[in-house]
Structure 1
């Protein structure tokens, strides 16, 4: 039995890669730089905005001195237009409804501002009692501190963490928390090579794993 469930966001609850790809290419267009392919940008997702932009700079040859400015502009764009292309994965809303008797939280590397803007856009502002974003602390996942903070804020006790990626698997392992791994997200490592309590391909199967 668990007392609460904490979720990653991008690649776990929602497919935000189309919006992130669009936002990156808007930045590049403003810089006079050719766009990056969708698959390329998708592979950059998972470490938060700072890591995303670091990888964009490396892929395009933009000066590293532009990093802070590009991060700020990307975050501002995402808060202004949080979810035009972002969609929940099939079955997510029904799964969240099925777990509504438990406290639910978020632990994401997306900054808090864009996270809350996206939740409002999706009509999810009241679904999560705890939100720990990529800028809530000075460190981000896979450092275990954000997940530890989310657990503390949600009331402690046994929790499950639900994620999709290598970052989430390492975070859960370092925090000593069991991971439910959604196989349809942004990971590039085989499921069998990631530490997890159980994996699921479809969100309709997830509530039964929690129970």
Structure 2
């Protein structure tokens, strides 16, 4: 079995609990209210929560005659602050099996669709900085929406920085698996409780339910996890 020299991790749903749907909705609604929209349509709120594109965001803002950059600045600020508050309150935490990463000898990094500043907060808050040589999250800009996975933009940047001949990307969503394969690296789907029933349209290289399994895969002992 392949032994890998570079291991990249998604953050939400892999290293830490993902933000709840309700928390993300509240952040979007707060942003709308800040810019004067007291009753945003549910379909527009859901579109933003579930991951809109740049084009889609412009269309939503046009429906309320909003300046897109102004609205998005408010949304990103409320979204980031809501995440910080949940971590600080203890309602979001890191997974217990994150300790498995400390035993890895490979060069490791984080690549997330979340804000780069939020990833920085997570690594500092949970004392995970020493486990990773680099981390990438998106900038809090409208343009960054089209750079999210399955776009390989941030994954490619991390791979270029870390180098190595054989890489592995660990995620909890279909977009993670697709991004890994588009970037030419093997993938691990971590079937946490929140995504265990996900019906993937693309097959990951491996599947496991914990980071302990990821550690075995990274070190070439992944036969039992091969898809």
- TM-score of the superposed pair, with normalisation by structure 1: 0.75
SS at match of 1:109: strand
Give distance in 2, aligned partners of 1:127 and 1:169: 22
3-state SS of paired residue (2:130): coil
User: Residue deviations 1:116-141, cap 9 Å, x none?
Assistant: 12222222233211112123995232
Could you tell me which residue of structure 2 aligns to residue 123 of structure 1? 127
SS in 2 for 1:126: helix
Structure 2's unaligned 5+ residue stretches are 220-227
Unaligned runs of 5+ in 1: none
Query: How many angstroms does 1:64 deviate by?
Result: 6.8
Contact 1:79 1:117 in 2 (8 A): no
1:98 aligned onto 2:100: no
Alpha-carbon distance in structure 2 between the residues aligned to 1:69 and 1:126: 36
Match of 1:112 in 2: 116
- Aligned-residue Cα RMSD (Å) equals 3.5
Kept in 2, the 8 Å contact 1:179–1:198? The answer is: yes
The residue correspondences of 1:159-198 to structure 2 (distance < 5 A) are 159-184=167-192, 185-186=194-195, 189-191=198-200, 193-198=201-206
> TM-score if structure 2 supplies the norm length?
0.71
Larger Cα-atom Rg: 2
Please state if 1:69 is matched with 2:74: no
